[in-house]
């Protein structure tokens, strides 16, 4: 009986104290490591920002062309818009 208690008590202590702490610390460390963006995500974000900048330049170029060729195009567009009641 004493041999059974010799193994039972440490096993219970291990399962109630050590294993839960081990699991919590393990997953906490994993979450900290995965918190930042991966290299692929960072590259996709940089590509999206570059595309947005190019599109913004295109819109500015088109607006400049419209301003020089069709003076007042902005106000004509606003005049045709239905007025809210």
pLDDT for residue 20: 92
pTM above threshold 0.85: no
pLDDT for residue 9: 85
- What is the C-alpha separation between 17 and 10, in angstroms, rounded? 10
pLDDT digits (tens, 9 = 90+) for 14-48: 889 999 999 999 999 888 887 777 888 889 999 99
Domain residue limits, the chain? 1-35, 38-79
Strands (E), 1-85: none
| pLDDT band, residue 8 (cuts 50/70/90) | confident
- What is the C-alpha separation between 8 and 17, in angstroms, rounded? 14
pLDDT for residue 35: 79
Question: Hey, how many other C-beta atoms are within 10 angstroms of the C-beta on 32?
Answer: 9
């Amino acid at each position: 009986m004493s041999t059974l208690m010799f193994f039972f008590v440490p096993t219970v202590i291990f399962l109630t104290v050590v294993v839960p702490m081990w699991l919590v610390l393990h997953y906490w460390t994993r979450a900290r490591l995965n918190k930042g963006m991966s290299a692929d995500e960072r590259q996709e974000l940089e590509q999206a920002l570059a595309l947005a900048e190019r599109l913004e330049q295109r819109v500015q170029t088109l607006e400049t062309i419209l301003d020089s060729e069709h003076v007042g195009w902005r106000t004509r567009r606003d005049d045709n818009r239905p007025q809210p009641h």
